[in-house]
């Protein structure tokens, strides 16, 4: 078996705003395995400024993994505990190599285009008019759940947008989720959550910055609005530490991004611990290309979650790869009549 890697830059169609800044490009890396005439591909979508493996030695470690591919998936993954996006890329690449066509990693009703995955529509930060236009577009596209990024513009403006939505659509018509990306101060968070709760929201993601376990625990205990941990899970490697975090904070939900928490294995460990504590969960992408999104979506389908997932990010980029993944009527589908197109990577599939 041989392994190589390639760097690739994804460009956003429209600069996308979060409380951490404006996103214009997204770096990603692909691990390519070849053995006995077959090829496998996995995506290491390290997220600059967010991933715990956003480190100067990231690419050095990726090269080491490729040079030592003979160790096999299990040993490499155990050796790369501090590099979750590389863990995930390798996990994906080995699954791809073992699959029939390199892309159907988890054959199911989803990959046969018999059953879609219900997803939320993502609304990026920006001016009030820009936010309202995105919401209108998502509703016209058939979404029944909208996730809105908040925390970067004036809070009163954000409340006004939510009020406008609720004046026209009840919670039965449209499920609303908000994501603060840690933008609130602990001293102001509870009051802001109380004001947000007036709009019948499903949940809020990461209201305060990660690492403030006791403050987050107090919020989760007294919140009028369900709280979902997201960034809080990043960089927590051991099962014991994961148990400790969930026990102390006791959130209503956790959100799993496989690229950020150690792939399928890391995510499933979080899910099992959350289930034991009766904590809800759902899966979201972390702005991977369609290659990574494909793996996440197929795996997510096998989990049989009844919540809406955050997997509608494939259309954000100008130079993503054509694939069978299609967003239609608020769902993600795998349309078997569509082909993969990876000519930009010069691969033999």
Give the residue from 59, 58, 47 showing the smallest Cα distance to 20: 47
Please say whether the beta carbons of 153 and 190 come within 8 A. no
Compute the distance between CA of residue 78 and CA of residue 238 in angstroms, rounded to an integer: 11
Q: Which of 104, 138, 149, 242 is catalytic?
A: 149
List CB contacts of 140: < 8 A, sequence separation 6 or more: none
Q: Which of 95, 104, 192, 257 is catalytic?
A: 257
At residue 337, φ and ψ (nearest 5 deg) are -85, 0
Nearest 5 degrees, angle CA 332-CA 336-CA 340? 90
DSSP 202: S
- Kindly report the number of other CB atoms within 10 A of residue 305's CB atom: 16
Compute the distance between CA of residue 204 and CA of residue 176 in angstroms, rounded to an integer: 9
Find residue 309's DSSP bridge partners: 119
Strand positions, DSSP E, the chain: 2-18, 21-35, 38-44, 117-118, 121-123, 145-149, 175-179, 203-205, 227-229, 253-256, 280-283, 325-328, 331-334
In the chain, how many H helices and how many E strands? 11, 13
Active site residue 38: no
Question: Where do the H-state alpha helices sit in 277-316?
Answer: 290-302
Compute the distance between CA of residue 215 and CA of residue 219 in angstroms, rounded to an integer: 6
Burial of 237 (0-12, 13-18, 19+ CB in 10 A): middle
Active site residue 241: no
For the annotated catalytic residues, the residue numbers are: 149, 257
């Amino acid at each position: 078996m041989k392994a190589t890697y390639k760097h690739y830059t994804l460009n956003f169609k429209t600069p996308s705003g979060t409380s951490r800044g404006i996103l214009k490009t997204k770096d990603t890396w692909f691990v390519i395995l070849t053995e006995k005439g077959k090829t496998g591909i996995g995506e290491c979508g390290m997220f600059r400024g967010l991933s715990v493996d956003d480190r100067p030695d990231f690419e050095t470690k990726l090269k080491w993994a490729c040079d030592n591919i003979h160790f096999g998936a299990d040993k490499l993954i155990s050796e790369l505990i501090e590099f979750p996006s590389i863990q995930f890329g390798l996990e994906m690449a080995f699954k791809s190599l073992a699959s029939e066509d390199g892309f159907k990693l988890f054959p199911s009703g989803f990959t046969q285009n018999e059953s879609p995955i219900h997803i939320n529509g993502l609304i990026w930060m920006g001016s009030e008019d820009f936010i309202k236009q995105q919401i209108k577009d998502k509703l016209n596209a058939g979404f029944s759940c909208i996730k809105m990024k908040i925390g970067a513009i004036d809070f009163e403006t954000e409340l006004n947008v939510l009020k406008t939505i609720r004046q026209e659509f009840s919670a039965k018509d449209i499920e609303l989720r908000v994501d603060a990306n840690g933008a609130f101060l602990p001293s102001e968070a509870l009051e802001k959550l109380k004001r947000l709760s007036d709009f019948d929201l499903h949940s809020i993601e990461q209201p305060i910055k990660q690492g403030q376990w006791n403050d987050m625990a107090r919020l989760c205990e007294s919140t009028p609005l369900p709280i979902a941990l997201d960034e809080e899970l990043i960089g927590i490697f051991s099962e014991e530490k994961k148990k400790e975090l969930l026990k102390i904070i006791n959130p209503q939900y956790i959100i799993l991004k496989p690229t950020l928490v150690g792939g399928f294995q890391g995510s499933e460990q979080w899910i099992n611990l959350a289930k034991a504590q009766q904590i809800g969960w759902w899966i979201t992408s972390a702005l991977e290309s369609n290659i990574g999104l494909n793996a996440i979506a197929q795996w997510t389908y096998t989990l049989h979650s009844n919540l809406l997932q955050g997997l509608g990010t494939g259309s954000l980029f100008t130079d993503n790869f054509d694939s069978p993944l299609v967003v239609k009527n608020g769902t993600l589908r795998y349309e078997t009549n569509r082909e993969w197109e990876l000519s930009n990577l010069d691969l033999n599939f």
